[in-house]
Amino acid sequence: MQKDDLLRLLRDPNLLPSEKQTLLSNIAAQAAAMDMPCYVVGGFVRDLLLGKPVNDLDVIVEGDAIKFGKSLVKAFGGKLTTHDKFHTAIWHLPDTWHLIPDTLDLITARKETYLMPGALPTVTPSTIQDDLLRRDFTINSMAIRVDGGHFGELFDPLNGQADLEEGLVRILHPRSFIDDPTRIFRAVRYEARYSFNLEPSTLNLINSESLDVIPRLSGERIRHELDLIFEEKNSSQMILRAGEFGLFKMIHPSLSLFNPDYSDFLEMDSTLDIPSSKAEIGYMLWLMDSSEDEILSIGQRLDFTSDLTYSIWAVSQLKKSLPFLVGSTPSVWTYALEKLPLLSIYMVYLVSREDALLDFLSIWRHVKPHTTGNDLKSHGLQPGPRFGEILSQLRAAWLDGQVTNEIQEKELLAKLL
């Protein structure tokens, strides 16, 4: 792409909002003042060339990124978090800029060495050429130089632009998936996100040799990649594709294929006010048909929080017990459900369409008697188990339609006392 065409894209507010254009100009000016080659790289360049709005700025300098970050703070304000081991810094942008995200990664151009397959790399400062060669795919291995008169120069040593135009996801070298098998998950994401194809040799390299490295990955790294998949708009396509490659059995022998009957629910927005993340929903749908032992074991492998593991277990148990609850009164449903996570209940509703579950979430769980503990005290009752029994009976009467107004509740209370 010619420099003029690239400059036009960089100045397009539909692709790069004006406030981020200003941020980029400030970074470029500071880099030029320090005579430090500076580039934006990776997803920024990829999405810009695709004509898609760009979000994060990933900035790389051929030089000391920490020193560069300190100069930015001195010139424009904000704060800096440094990571000396990796030669990187995070610039916390000034509050008055009101930018989202409000941080910027500053990275020293570096070279990576993998001491063993699946291990985290050893990094050493290097050039932009080496930095691009360490990346996952050609479409992510482009850079735009921004300092001084170089502003708007595309650096594309691996022909990533050509692969973008042809719609191909291509790794950089034959050992790429072996060095870092999380790249297999990312290949699946990019393929589906952009409706691209895996380049034939790349596809062939998702094989037993690269898959055999997956068990060496930490649960946290695998879960992070799965989280990213579930956050995508067409996550169902991605998770089913990952299953085709045999990824899941390499993560855990009991991790089954995702049930395609549940795939539509991954992209569903709840009309109920239940806090959740796309990843939580994904794991619940995925594992709801697993046994208790499998859920616990898979949860340990993927480093789930105890809350997430419990929520998945609750989904599984509720789905299994559903046939025994169908036909019950609202009060029976309510007492069976009220201690379970709301999201777990909603997940079972999605796959079962049992109306009682939705009634609980939207109506029954909010039903309470007018009578309080203080009212019971005023009738001479001492706090104790009888308190709870009476309040539960009053609530059940409301739920089941035996009481429909406050007068009827008082009459029932008199009988219970």
For 371-402, write each residue's pLDDT tens digit. 888 888 888 787 778 888 888 999 999 999 99
User: What is the distance between the alpha carbons of residues 239 and 282, in angstroms, rounded to a whole number?
Assistant: 9
Say what the pLDDT of residue 269 is: 64
Instruction: Look over the chain and give the mean of its residue pLDDT values, rounded to a whole number.
Output: 93
Of 29-33, 231-235, 283-287, the range with the lowest mean pLDDT is 231-235
**pLDDT tens for each residue of 151-189:** 999 999 999 999 999 999 999 999 999 999 999 999 999
Cα 314 to chain centroid distance, Å, stands at 22
Q: Which residue has the tokens 């309080």?
A: 372
Q: Give domain 3-165's CATH number out of 3.40.630.30, 3.40.605.10, 1.20.1250.20, 3.30.460.10.
A: 3.30.460.10
pLDDT in tens, 237-292: 999 999 999 999 999 999 988 999 888 888 766 667 888 889 999 999 999 999 99
Q: Is the pLDDT of residue 415 over 90?
A: no
Please give the share of the chain, as a percent, with pLDDT higher than 90.
78
Give me the helix-helix angle, 342-352 and 306-325, nearest 10°: 50
* Residue-range domain boundaries for the chain: 3-165, 373-416
Average pLDDT in the 18-28 region? 93
In the prediction, which pLDDT does 268 show? Answer: 67
Instruction: Give pLDDT tens digits for 136-145.
Output: 999 999 999 9
Q: From CA 59, how far away is CA 3, in angstroms rounded?
A: 19
How far apart are alpha carbons 409 and 403 in whole angstroms? Answer: 6
What digits encode the pLDDT tens for the residues 328-349?
Answer: 999 999 999 999 999 999 999 9
Judged against a pLDDT cut of 80, whether residue 50 lies above it is answered with yes
SS (H, E, C) the chain: CCHHHHHHHHCCCCCCCHHHHHHHHHHHHHHHHCCCCEEEECHHHHHHHCCCCCCCCEEEECCCHHHHHHHHHHHHCCEEEEEHHHCEEEEECCHHHCCCCCEEEEEECEEEECCCCCCCCEEEECCHHHHHHCCCEHHHCCEEECCHHHCCEEECCCCHHHHHHHCEECECCCCHHHHCCHHHHHHHHHHHHCCCEECHHHHHCCCHHHHCCHHHCCHHHHHHHHHHHHHCCCHHHHHHHHHHCCHHHHHCCCCCCCCHHHHHHHHCCCCCCCCCCHHHHHHHHHHCCCCHHHHHHHHHHCCCCHHHHHHHHHHHHHHHHHHHHCCCCHHHHHHHHCCCCHHHHHHHHHHHCCHHHHHHHHCHHHCCCCCCHHHHHHCCCCCCHHHHHHHHHHHHHHHCCCCCCHHHHHHHHHHHC
Whole-prediction pTM value? 0.88
pLDDT of residue 78: 95
Angle, CA 373 vertex, CA 369 and CA 376 arms, to 5°? 95
